[in-house]
Amino acid sequence: MPILTIESTCDETAAAVIAANGSVLGDAIATQETLHEQFRGVVPEVAARAHVERILPVIDTAIRRASVTPNDLDAIAVADRPGLAGSLLVGVVAAKTLSVAWNKPLVTVNHLHAHLYACQLSSESTVYPCIGLVVSGGHTSLYLCHGPLELKYLGGTIDDAAGEAFDKVAAMLQLDFPGGPAVSKLAATGNRKAHSFPRSLIHDPKDDFSFSGLKTAVRYAIVGPGQQDFSKVSLSPQVKADLCASFEAAVVDVLVSKAERAVKRHQVKRLIVGGGVAANRYLREMLTKSANTNDYQIVIAPPEWCTDNAVMGALALEKIARGEFASLDLDITPGLQRGF
């Protein structure tokens, strides 16, 4: 029987109905881009309030699209970690309420593990064992994955996530929100060598990342060293494109080089990549190139399953198969610490 999956960890309200074999019967996503674009970043309180308004209609839409009734469902799954506290709370409370009202068992999924599971969902054979790279708005992490639920955290960002850096650079250049797609579009017409931005920790033997120095370097390239005021700066489209291209090259160099090294060190044959930044065309191109050159297989989540969605919550099926259910005293785990 199918399951209902609910995702509300950040600023997308999403639900899906997934068949027991993993196929998607119906899904729905309500994005909040227009609510946050005036702030050029996700405002947690605004996100939580919007989830409250949207969650029931989104669940209803997913169920209708799947042509099932609540009676047909086997379980209700929800992403309970990591994420924004207020956002997580809305999904978890909705899942608990429906679990009681419909008398269905409750299952939790880790949102980051689900981002990686999107790769397994799109692959015909097993992707394990492999190295997993999650690149999202809140996280940049490497894992050694022996199975969908057997993930060992190897390292992650010690400051900003890759997606956060894309969003901040877009804000500095007064581009659209979310920043990733906007920066990527401009970068395609820019010179990747126009600026030699820092590739922090690229040669560090640990699997950690750092993108805050890169953000600062871009800021100084725009306003001048030590300056803060963007209001007096007016840049031509080509100058903006060169900044975006050079910034994107720095992020991608670090991500590809550290992921490639982890694959070699752990002697696995495969790299899987998920999260919003994995939708980036240049990153996808350079990862594919690295895989071809270094003789490993690459599985990148399909672009529509890179950014937040409830389909990747199909990971819950793996937990159900093991009999791992949650109880009604389930609480959220925002997971602000590293190592998640």
User: How far apart (Å, rounded) are the C-alpha atoms in residues 85 and 62?
Assistant: 24
Q: How far is the CB of 251 from ligand KG4 (least distance, A)?
A: 8
Indicate whether 179 belongs to the interface with ligand KG4 (CB under 6 A). Answer: yes
Per-residue CA distances from 84 to 27, 46, 111, 140 (Å): 22, 11, 12, 16
Choose the binding region for ligand KG4 from 23-31, 47-55, 174-182, 215-223 (rule: CB under 6 A).
174-182
Cα dihedral 88, 91, 92, 94 in deg (nearest 10): 150
Binding site for Zn ion (CB under 5 A): 136, 308
Indicate whether 148 belongs to the interface with ligand KG4 (CB under 6 A). Answer: no
Q: How far is the CB of 205 from ligand KG4 (least distance, A)?
A: 27
Indicate whether 132 belongs to the interface with ligand KG4 (CB under 6 A). Answer: no
Where b means 16+ CB within 10 Å and e means fewer, 326-335 reads: beeebebbbb
Indicate whether 279 belongs to the interface with ligand KG4 (CB under 6 A). Answer: yes
Q: How many residues bind ligand KG4 (CB under 6 A)?
A: 19
Is 163 or 335 the residue whose CB approaches ligand KG4 more closely? Answer: 163
Indicate whether 26 belongs to the interface with ligand KG4 (CB under 6 A). Answer: no
Q: Give me the phi and psi of 45, to 5 degrees please.
A: -65, -40
Which among Zn ion, ligand KG4, none contacts residue 190 (Cβ within 5 to 8 A by kind)?
none
Which among ligand KG4, Zn ion, none contacts residue 91 (Cβ within 5 to 8 A by kind)?
none
Choose the binding region for ligand KG4 from 173-181, 225-233, 321-329, 331-339 (rule: CB under 6 A).
173-181
C-alpha distance across the termini of the chain, in Å: 31
Q: Which of 228, 225, 224, 221 is nearest to 244 (CA)?
A: 221
Indicate whether 10 belongs to the interface with ligand KG4 (CB under 6 A). Answer: yes
Indicate whether 335 belongs to the interface with ligand KG4 (CB under 6 A). Answer: no
Which among Zn ion, ligand KG4, none contacts residue 179 (Cβ within 5 to 8 A by kind)?
ligand KG4
Among residues 27, 167, 208, 318, which is the contact residue for ligand KG4, using CB under 6 A? 167
Would you give the binding string for ligand KG4 spanning residues 212-251, x where CB under 6 A is met? ----------------------------------------
Yes or no: say if 14 and 24 are a contact pair by the CB < 8 Å rule: no
Which among Zn ion, ligand KG4, none contacts residue 99 (Cβ within 5 to 8 A by kind)?
none
- Dihedral angle sign, alpha carbons of residues 258, 264, 267, 269: positive
Is 120 or 136 the residue whose CB approaches Zn ion more closely? Answer: 136
Among residues 86, 132, 138, 156, which is the contact residue for ligand KG4, using CB under 6 A? 138
Yes or no: say if 14 and 28 are a contact pair by the CB < 8 Å rule: yes
Indicate whether 312 belongs to the interface with ligand KG4 (CB under 6 A). Answer: no
| Contacts with ligand KG4, residue ranges (CB under 6 A) | 10, 136-138, 163, 166-167, 178-181, 184, 275-277, 279-280, 307-308
